[in-house]
Amino acid sequence: LSDVTEMRKLQQLRSEFVANVTHELKTPLTSIRGFIELLKSGDRDEETRQYFYDVLDIEAERLHHLIDDMLVLSQIENAKDDVQTVPCNLNQEIETVLRWAKPIAEKNGIVLRLEAEEAFLVASSPTRLQQLFGNLVENAIKYNKPQGRVTVTLQRQRIMVLVKVKDTGIGIPQEHLPRLFERFYRVDSSRSREIGGTGLGLSIVKHLAGLYHGDVSVESVVGEGSVFTVRLPLLEG
Ligand code: ADP
């Protein structure tokens, strides 16, 4: 009986996922088709045409980003048991992420900092670590306030390393925290969409942390900011 219940639950999750994906793909496509119609019908001055082209560009980019995130998610899910891991210097990978993020942060007047007591080695893949912390740092910038701060701290906790990504941003109301890592879950859909969010970033983070035998948790205060904590097993070298 419990097998049947489990199977039904899986089927339901799958059909919910398909429904969500369909909706997420349809929204930008509908907008693209609408603006193409507008461009084809009637004379438009150059400024209006340019505006329409810009919207088309943004919507196409949104589709691209969504498809990329779905591919990453499906790769991680299929990787489950046969992950290839190598010793990775966590500090180095996070520094790479912060270097990439710096121009976007600067544009928003946000300062990025890394505080590490020592260098930490973990068994993972450099690309996957960059994806994991890239998503968290990107969110910490996106949902921050102007002139805000993002601080990443690395500290030892027995056989684990704790990576905290802390922001001084808008925060997340408590009632959203239990579902935050679900695919396509968003606190404020319009803000997320407006800034090009796919709603998949945190589910990628959760899957990746799990893949390397770690986990992720979140604490947040509305109006003050959020802290995402990733725990990964240390590789003593
Ligand atoms: P998105 O692409 O929408 O950013 P994510 O899966 O990365 O999707 O995040 C899910 C939702 O969690 C976001 O839409 C946002 O509402 C909320 N969120 C994530 N990170 C933060 C943060 N650092 N501060 C405030 N809200 C956040």
- pLDDT tens digits, 62-103: 999 999 999 999 888 887 666 789 999 999 999 999 999 999
* Least confident segment among 131-135, 146-150, 175-179, 191-195: 191-195
Mean pLDDT of 123-139: 96
* 141 neighbors 107 (Cβ within 8 angstroms): no
**Does pTM top 0.75 for this prediction?**
yes
CA distances from 163 to 6, 111, 136, 217 (A): 34, 18, 11, 11
Return the residue matching tokens 């992420």: 97
Ligand 1: nearest atom to the Cα of 167 = 23
Residue nearest to atom 20 of ligand 1 (CA): 139
- pLDDT tens digits, 170-219: 999 999 999 999 999 999 888 777 777 889 999 999 999 999 999 999 99
Mean pLDDT of 1-10: 84
Of the candidates 107, 27, 38, 37, the residue with the CA atom closest to the CA atom of residue 60: 27
Ligand 1: which of 64, 132, 139, 224 to mutate, judged by most atoms within 8 Å of the beta carbon? 139
Distance CA 76, CA 70 (A): 10
* 150 neighbors 167 (Cβ within 8 angstroms): yes
Return the residue matching tokens 């996106």: 142
